[in-house]
Amino acid sequence: MPDFKNLSREQKYFALAFLIGFLVKYNYLLTQIFRGPSWLGGILRNIFFVVFIAYFLFPLTRTRSGRKKLLIFSGIFTFVFTANLWYNRYFGNYLGFTDIIVGESIGSPLVIFRHIMNFWDPLFLIDLIIMGFLLSPEEKTAADSRTAKSSLRPSSARKTRKVKLLVGLVLILLLTTQVLATNMQLGSERPVDLYRRSTGAFVSVYGILPLYLYEAYYTTFYNDLQDRTAELPEMLKSEELDGENVIPRDSNIIVIQVESLDEKLLGYEHNGRELTPFLNNLKDNSLYGSSFYTKHVNGSFDADFSLLTSLYPINRTYAFKQNDMTEFASLPNILQEEGYQALAFHGNKGEFFYRHQAYPDLGFDRFYSREDYSAEDRVMDMEEGYLGINDYDFFKQSLDFLENHDEPFLGLFITVTSHTPFNFYPEEMMVEEYADIENPLVHDFFQSISFVDKSLEMFFSELEERGLKDNPLFVIYSDHDASIDTPEYSSSLEFELKRNVKKPEHIPLLIYHPELEPGKIEVTGTITDLAPTILDLLGKESLPDEFLGRSLLEGEEKSVHFLHEFPQIFYRNQLFLKELDEIHRVGHVRNREDPTVELTEQQKDETRNIITFIREKMETTLRD
């Protein structure tokens, strides 16, 4: 390394802290967040960084202003690294350009400190701490004096310029070789095709900064898809239903999307007290989906998008904001043809996740949001939370709105109280049996879920009193699990995994109607399957071709898909991952490993076709 021996001890430590800190974080991003598939690309890129930093950045450590610049760069890079680390921990994806400019704020910093941040995360700040400690006032050392004098000699200056020019040419050659060799290793594709195929592969070839620059261009200027249409492969077209109604065709439909409700909460007790006594009782009288999973790729809106369109949400896509939803077949539009009114209710502001523009496009006649609810008329003595009105008052006031509409109706209710950080509940409804839970995250989660359960009980009781519970079909599920993983309580269904991938989120599904026989739905399903199931119960004979879900009343076990950045296929408790063109096993539900379960070529082709179709559908229905 040039002139490294001429640096003072403090300057050497500063330079090494900068180099090691950068390489550790970059390689963590490359291998754990973006999961770059090319080891060759990683090795060559690391050699490039070491040479570049040694020859062009280490000299900056001689002056305080130079060290300050390097510290600022490290701080910015650490911020980008931490944002990706935390986003990946919650969603299983990297933080893309679309997420940055379109995504919603988490609202409360408490969410990060109580829910997302791990105790070892501060280790990634060690390099910044060392560099900050060594950012001392500039000192004139003997080595500096010698270097300064030698730098005045024309021959020495010319030699230094020649060395830097030579090193620069070597770096250009090295980077060019890395790009060409890695791209050849991964299939020799154009940047746009490589990006669509895998951002991990794109990063392996071009790097992280070029990925964000390309996404910025792609999101802002890419418009050559307007004349294309999404081609639905024949194998994906919806199958016919039997046309036999299980419940009356004019039944009111009430769908409740409960915030952060884990499947294991139903029946769960602490100190002999059930967390969800009302839902437990309702479960005993319902069709219950025991192997039901959510869609949680970009945010909570993925759940209602999946419910309403029977499609799979896909990473890097904020459909409600970016896409013209009139181009999608939807459950509200289908039911309107049968004489239904379609109503949506949400205690948060209408603009949250852009539901205010998506819901009318999807066919809702009326969307009641935070602006429609009264703070003065609330029953609970508590301040409004950052996500809107509490669930008790939300349901209470929604009943008044519901009474003003004709029947039959579809009513979609989205709750907020049990959203992280789980501290949005009234003190007067706290459950004493949970007071001994020392972990504040778990304690507040149990209290908030208990409050939601009481709010649901009130809602059902009031529906009956107002004569609105005579023939409704109730469908209750969750937008996602609570993502809690502590010694006291863990949300997740336990998986044994070979790779760092996001686990499928196990949520409850309750389907209740007075004329529906209670029982268990054992086939694996997701929210994508809810609209077909509802229509099957009502006796519809067919589904729109673009509905990719299937009725859960069918008895055949089929694979389900989670279209994260690295798409997952879940089949018979075994988890498979698609990376580039390969689909391979990465894990299984604990104690349910079955090496004999393999995906057929038809299932693999179906997965590839689903991914291609959804990508094309999202690209060709962008808003003007």
Q: Residues 189, 244: one domain?
A: no
Neighbours of 517 (CB within 10 A): 9
Please indicate, yes or no, if residue 227 is contained in any of the structural domains.
no
Task: Give me 332's structure tokens.
Answer: 């509200």
Residues 6 or more apart whose CB falls under 8 angstroms from that of 527 comprise 294, 295, 303, 306, 307, 477
Please indicate, yes or no, if residue 523 is contained in any of the structural domains.
yes
Q: Are 561 and 312 in contact (CB under 8 A)?
A: yes
- Dihedral sign of CA atoms 50, 37, 191, 328 in order: negative
Please indicate, yes or no, if residue 187 is contained in any of the structural domains.
yes
Please indicate, yes or no, if residue 228 is contained in any of the structural domains.
no
Q: Residues 413, 551: one domain?
A: yes
Secondary structure of 377-434 in the HEC alphabet? CCCCCCCCECCECCHHHHHHHHHHHHHCCCCCEEEEEECCCCCCCCCCCCHHHCCHHH
**pLDDT tens column, 404-420:** 899 999 999 999 999 88
Beta strands 519-521 and 495-497 are: unpaired
**pLDDT tens column, 29-40:** 999 899 888 888
Q: 419: buried, middle or exposed (CB in 10 Å: 19+, 13-18, 0-12)?
A: buried
From 157, 188, 221, the end of a domain falls on: 221
Q: What confidence score (pLDDT) does residue 110 get? A: 61
Q: Residues 199, 241: one domain?
A: no
Residue type, 398: S
Could you tell me the maximum CA-CA distance found in the chain, to the nearest angstrom? 96
Q: Residues 206, 269: one domain?
A: no
Please indicate, yes or no, if residue 578 is contained in any of the structural domains.
yes
Residue 454 CA, distance from chain mean position:
29
pTM, two decimals, is: 0.90
Tell me the C-alpha distance between 26 and 286, whole Å: 50
Q: Residues 212, 305: one domain?
A: no
As averages over each run of 10 residues, the pLDDT of the chain (624 residues) reads 74 94 95 88 93 92 93 96 89 84 62 72 94 77 50 63 86 94 89 86 93 84 62 88 89 96 95 96 96 92 96 91 94 96 95 94 96 85 78 95 92 94 88 93 95 97 87 95 91 88 94 94 96 96 94 92 93 94 92 94 94 91 84
Residues 6 or more apart whose CB falls under 8 angstroms from that of 354 comprise 301, 318, 320, 321
From 187, 221, 255, the end of a domain falls on: 221
3-class DSSP state of 555: coil
- Residue 78: give the domain boundaries: 4-221
Q: What confidence score (pLDDT) does residue 142 get? A: 46
Tell me the C-alpha distance between 430 and 450, whole Å: 8
Q: Residues 183, 64: one domain?
A: yes
Tell me the C-alpha distance between 484 and 490, whole Å: 5
From 221, 250, 284, the end of a domain falls on: 221
- Dihedral sign of CA atoms 370, 373, 374, 378 in order: negative
Q: Residues 304, 332: one domain?
A: yes
Q: Are 415 and 391 in contact (CB under 8 A)?
A: yes
Residues 6 or more apart whose CB falls under 8 angstroms from that of 3 comprise 58, 59, 147
Q: Are 372 and 358 in contact (CB under 8 A)?
A: no
Task: Give me 63's structure tokens.
Answer: 């002056």
Q: Residues 190, 257: one domain?
A: no
Q: Residues 205, 246: one domain?
A: no
Q: Residues 208, 298: one domain?
A: no
Tell me the C-alpha distance between 258 and 34, whole Å: 31
User: Which residue(s) pair with 82 in the sheet?
Assistant: none
Q: Residues 239, 375: one domain?
A: yes
CATH number at residue 269: 3.40.720.10
Please indicate, yes or no, if residue 229 is contained in any of the structural domains.
no
Beta strands 519-521 and 287-289 are: parallel
Task: Give me 108's structure tokens.
Answer: 């409360």
Q: Residues 212, 260: one domain?
A: no
Residues 6 or more apart whose CB falls under 8 angstroms from that of 589 comprise 493, 494, 495, 496, 573
Please indicate, yes or no, if residue 44 is contained in any of the structural domains.
yes
Please indicate, yes or no, if residue 226 is contained in any of the structural domains.
no
H helices of 484-596, in order, are 530-537
Tell me the C-alpha distance between 302 and 315, whole Å: 10
The count of domains in the chain is: 2
- Dihedral sign of CA atoms 122, 125, 129, 130 in order: positive
3-class DSSP state of 473: strand
